Structure 1
């Protein structure tokens, strides 16, 4: 199979390239220890397409989709297939000032739609089917905030690839036969200290992010080596000068009544090392010690790595 053909492997309902929706649920699950738990999980994942269709028919224009990622610790038991070359549990990144922690997770369900009720109903039906075969370790409900902004007030996802560059950046080709048609998924849950953030001037905030706040225009970094912006630190260029893109489907979440304000980072990539290098640059710094100043107001609470298999693999789990 040619590289271009590999990128055309159908991945529905593994909708890595699904459009940004107004609502999303990020559900992190761990496998239960009861007898038959793995078989139950395999059966539910094998039926996922039908379960999604059962909910989606209520509003076919709402773009309901569910993407499932399988973690490295659960891959052998659940997938019973050759392991994708780069798949492994999230590796914690510890810098001098901030840490990106690794937290439990065997399955990651990324449910999204333009209607909150459809996300709710799909989540309910899936958890009913899973029963005690899984435990929920994190449930985060995300929402679109104004014109695709995060709760810090900046447009998010500007650098996402579009057109032919999207599958090229997210869907694995012939370079890894065990993973062809799949994608790596990295998730992190960040909470923001909005009081500290609002204590900065708009110009200071723009210097941290690397873009203007009102109209999202890219800015050059300051000359000082310890003043690289989030935009620069999260841009990965290899030794040959080639820039490597990822797809960010980040969603804001929060509860004003609980004083919780955050961003759920959702990164799909063809090459896991790209996101891992991005996190090293952010948390350790480039040069080391010069960390991403966004982390001074944003704390990572979770970290997980998953592999999103193509639909044929997912559908076959119930056989």
Structure 2
């Protein structure tokens, strides 16, 4: 068990543990091959705090924030002598029916606010500063949907840790002291087949998810029946200790284009916890009994990043 007292740490994390916002932008970019491109990207992200303040002062109550995640390839190109212990590329997870693909990504910008105009303005200025040093490979505008539901109609993020457990589950501690206060983050974009999903009865949907749809009450798995999405995402180690992650998923969509989805973003103290969740979902637990939600939700992206503490982030440009 992790016993640190996070409320006394002098390390300043990025806003990993910020509350669920009304609007969000998920921006993934790759960095150009030249040393100049890497240097420009490194300089911009080291000063991201100044850019957030420049936009956010317009409405402090809107709580504008931006977490910067750095991929394994970018970390090497930034010339850092040390690297986070578990930082690695996202590995494709190929199951018997469905696959979690691995897609390119050097930097992740997770922008959040209570106002969509502020997230828009920060993204605009950020990309202007990065210029031709980067190429946008994925850009999603998320929104809060009713009472924090996904487009499948279920409340999302119910199992998130709260209080002191939130920091213990999401922030690196004394096991990797050079990167304490940082967090591993995995992002995936899922596209939903809402027509097929809507053809199921509410009871069938609830058995797949593992919760009631109307009031979000946890359901017990039925003996002999395949595990629910909830059960497959419950991770315990060899000692029977349960490990949590912090999710900040957001719905997105373009009805005119027939696009409806969920952007999964999971922050974790230990990357293996998210990786194990994905193996359970796509390969199955037991093997072959994959997550039935994947028959209706297709993963089209997958990338891993490390979100360093503000201290480490700002030092990148020293």
Considering the TM-score relative to the shorter chain, is it more than 0.5?
A: yes
State the 1:7 CA deviation. Answer: 7.3
State the 1:19 CA deviation. Answer: 1.1
State the 1:9 CA deviation. Answer: 4.3
State the 1:46 CA deviation. Answer: 1.5
Question: Structure 2 vs 1, CA of residues 212 and 56 (structure 1 numbering), >3 Å: closer, same or farther?
Answer: same
Once residues 93 and 168 of structure 1 are traced to their aligned partners in structure 2, the CA distance between those partners, rounded to angstroms, is: 27
CA-based RMSD of the aligned residues comes to 1.3
State the 1:45 CA deviation. Answer: 1.1
For residues 142-291 of structure 1, the aligned pairs below 5 Å read 142-225=142-225, 227-291=226-290
Question: Structure 2 vs 1, CA of residues 7 and 126 (structure 1 numbering), >3 Å: closer, same or farther?
Answer: farther
Q: Which runs of 4+ in 1 moved over 6 A?
A: none
State the 1:301 CA deviation. Answer: 0.3
Establish whether residue 292 from structure 1 lines up as the match of residue 286 from structure 2.
no
* Aligned position for 2:65: 65
* Aligned position for 2:12: 11
Task: Give TM-score, length-normalised by structure 1.
Answer: 0.96
Question: Structure 2 vs 1, CA of residues 126 and 79 (structure 1 numbering), >3 Å: closer, same or farther?
Answer: farther
Contact (CA 8 Å) 2:16, 2:67: kept in 1 or not? yes
What is the total number of aligned residue pairs between the two structures?
316
Instruction: List alignment gaps of at least 5 residues for structure 2.
Output: none
Task: Give TM-score, length-normalised by structure 2.
Answer: 0.97
Once residues 273 and 38 of structure 2 are traced to their aligned partners in structure 1, the CA distance between those partners, rounded to angstroms, is: 31
Contact (CA 8 Å) 1:6, 1:181: kept in 2 or not? no
Instruction: List alignment gaps of at least 5 residues for structure 1.
Output: none
State the 1:72 CA deviation. Answer: 0.8
SS of equivalent residue, structure 2 residue 138 = strand
State the 1:34 CA deviation. Answer: 3.8
Once residues 38 and 210 of structure 1 are traced to their aligned partners in structure 2, the CA distance between those partners, rounded to angstroms, is: 45
Contact (CA 8 Å) 1:79, 1:317: kept in 2 or not? no
Contact (CA 8 Å) 1:192, 1:299: kept in 2 or not? yes
Establish whether residue 134 from structure 1 lines up as the match of residue 125 from structure 2.
no
Once residues 314 and 79 of structure 1 are traced to their aligned partners in structure 2, the CA distance between those partners, rounded to angstroms, is: 13
